[in-house]
Amino acid sequence: MHLIGLTGSIATGKSTTSQLLASPPYSLPIIDADVLARAAVEPGTWAYKQIVGTFGGSTPDLLLPASDPQSGGREDGPQGKGRPLNRPALGRRVFGQSAERTADRQRLNSIVHPAVRLYMLRSLAYYYVRGHWAVVLDIPLLFESGLDVFCSSVVVTDVALKAKWAQERGPGKGYVLYNDGKKADLEVQLNEVMGKISASSPRWWSALLLVFPPLMVSVASWQLLVNYLKHRRALRDRANPKANNSPYNNPAEYDRMAEDEDGEENVKRLLSTPILSLSLSLPPAPSSSTLIVRPYRASDAAAIAAAANSPAIACNMTNTFPSPYTLERAQSWIALQLDVDKTWKSTALPPSSSVYYYYPSLSSSVDIGSQGQDTTKRAPKRMPSNYVIVLDDEPVGGIGLKFGEDIESRSAEFGYWLSPACWGRGVMSVVATAFVAWTFDSFPYLVRLSAQVFSWNRASMRVCEKAGMQQEAVLKRLVWKDGRLGDMVVYSILRNTSDDKYEPFER
* pLDDT band of 377, cuts 50, 70, 90: very low
pLDDT at residue 422 tops 60: yes
- C-beta contacts of 383-387 below 8 A and 24+ residues apart: 383/247, 383/248, 383/254, 383/358, 384/271, 384/295, 384/296, 384/337, 384/358, 385/356, 385/357, 385/358, 386/296, 386/337, 387/275, 387/293, 387/294, 387/295, 387/296
Find out whether the peptide bond into 213 is cis, omega within 30 degrees of 0: no
The per-residue pLDDT for 354 is 33
Q: Which CATH superfamily is domain 274-494 in?
A: Gcn5-related N-acetyltransferase (GNAT) (3.40.630.30)
Give the bridge partners for 452, in sequence order.
Answer: 490
378 vs 398, which has greater pLDDT? 398
pLDDT at residue 251 tops 80: no
In single-letter form, the type of residue at position 226 comes to: V
Burial class (CB in 10 A: 0-12, 13-18, 19+), 477: exposed
The per-residue pLDDT for 9 is 63
Q: Residue ranges of the domains in the chain?
A: 2-242, 274-494
* pLDDT band of 403, cuts 50, 70, 90: confident
Per the prediction, the chain carries an average pLDDT of 77
pLDDT tens for 265-297 read 544 554 556 777 765 655 555 456 778 888 888
Return the closest-CA partner of residue 246 out of 165, 145, 143: 165
pTM: 0.48
The per-residue pLDDT for 406 is 82
The per-residue pLDDT for 143 is 75
Burial class (CB in 10 A: 0-12, 13-18, 19+), 282: middle
Neighbours of 494 (CB within 10 A): 17
CATH class of 2-242: alpha beta
The per-residue pLDDT for 498 is 59
The per-residue pLDDT for 74 is 87
User: Is residue 279 classed as helix, strand or coil in its secondary structure?
Assistant: strand
User: Is residue 487 classed as helix, strand or coil in its secondary structure?
Assistant: strand
pLDDT at residue 39 tops 80: yes
pLDDT at residue 376 tops 50: no
2-6, 125-129, 166-170, 404-408: range with lowest mean pLDDT: 166-170
Whether the domain at 2-242 and the domain at 274-494 fall into the same CATH topology: no
323 vs 169, which has greater pLDDT? 323
Do strands 2-7 and 484-494 pair parallel, antiparallel, or not at all (unpaired)? unpaired
pLDDT tens for 83-124 read 999 988 888 888 776 788 888 888 998 999 999 999 999 998
Distance (Å, whole) CA 168 – CA 119: 28
Buried b / exposed e along 328-338 (16+ C-beta atoms within 10 A)? ebbbbbbbbbb
- Percentage above 70 pLDDT, the chain: 73
In single-letter form, the type of residue at position 470 comes to: Q
* pLDDT band of 368, cuts 50, 70, 90: very low
* pLDDT band of 475, cuts 50, 70, 90: very high
37-46, 154-163, 340-349: range with lowest mean pLDDT: 340-349
